[in-house]
Structure 1
């Protein structure tokens, strides 16, 4: 398997050549794969908000697949996500970190939609997913950053490569504006995870 690296400039160039709906769909794929991380956080610390993110994600998919944009005031949905963001902790708190990352990615996705498929916002949604995988991979190695060798091990890890290859596959699939393709990617994203619960808790 080819070892991929996260390259934000190259990603933005690819996104710039894609249809607007595909750009938002790409960001949403990255956000959807992190939904379980927010739900794991909410289960322990914010159960009354557990369904909020999933409802917003489902509404986003309906918007880009079926054009159901009118019923949803996305600026209001954005405010809901921002208000749900976990408080910063003074110690390692995986549920807060990964749950917060999931919400950050969702915020960037909504902002991309609001800004008529802004490629920078979409790239940031993808970067957050990558950074979650990177953090979990580093912790699984039980090493500190600081050497090229450690960075190479992190990048080449199964956790990081799994997400980067999914992002690459999403980009290839979304090169054309096809609602059927987007619907298929939704199904894949809903079934996939940037991190499993075990990987979050390392």
Structure 2
């Protein structure tokens, strides 16, 4: 049984939301202008408010999820760093909303996975800049960026074990690390 399996549904939602918030913040800091940024930010804020309000926020979560899913870049979109970040951000937010809807540890894990995949791609780009065209999975796993993300996720789970949801909603706002 994993730490996410042991966590309560609100803590799973807090974890998934923190992962999604981290990617969304990176997207906001990027030079890209994108209408998706506002929708993703609003979704994160609704999830945070719901945690603060003990699940009493009046939101049609399914409608929000459906709207967020329309933001996924299409297959014909030009692939570049910002599209990758947008794709990972949208997916992580969608998984956070699904975690809120279902309480599923698997949905929370998928949100975390999108964070890991983004930092894995950052590591891959770093290796390519240094002339390593095909880094191994182990090289990518051991890269400082992916290790930093794995530590952030581990530390976040540890903090969430010991905190109330009001504090958790505040923590989500500080997970840029």
Distance of aligned partners of 1:90 and 1:188 in 2 relative to their CA distance in 1, 3 Å threshold:
closer
Give the alignment's TM-score, normalised by structure 2.
Answer: 0.87
* Distance apart, 1:153 and its partner CA: 2.5
Structure 1 alignment gaps of length 5 or more: 1-11, 194-202
Q: Distance in 1 between matches of 2:56 and 2:63?
A: 13
Gaps of 5+ in 2: none
Name which of 2, 26, 29 aligns with 1:13.
2
Deviations for 1:124-148, whole angstroms, at most 9, x for unmatched residues? 00011001100110111013446xx
CA deviation profile, 1:8-58 (whole Å, cap 9, x unmatched): xxxx621111122111101111000000344467943x33x4311101100
Task: Give the C-alpha shift of residue 81 in structure 1.
Answer: 0.5
Structure 1 moving runs of 4+ over 4 Å: none
When the two structures are superposed, what TM-score results if normalisation uses the length of structure 1? 0.77
Question: Take 2:85 and 2:66, find their aligned partners in 1: how far apart are those partners?
Answer: 20
1:34 aligns with 2:23: yes
1:64 is aligned to 2:27? no
| Aligned match of 1:128 | 114
Contact 1:108 1:121 in 2 (8 A): yes
Count of equivalent residues: 174
1:75 corresponds in structure 2 to 62
Question: In structure 1, what is the equivalent of residue 94 of structure 2?
Answer: 107
Structure 1 residue aligned with 2:152: 166
| 2:139 match: secondary structure | helix
Q: Could you give the per-residue CA deviations for residues 112-135 of structure 1, whole angstroms, max 9, x where no partner exists?
A: 1111x1010000000110011001
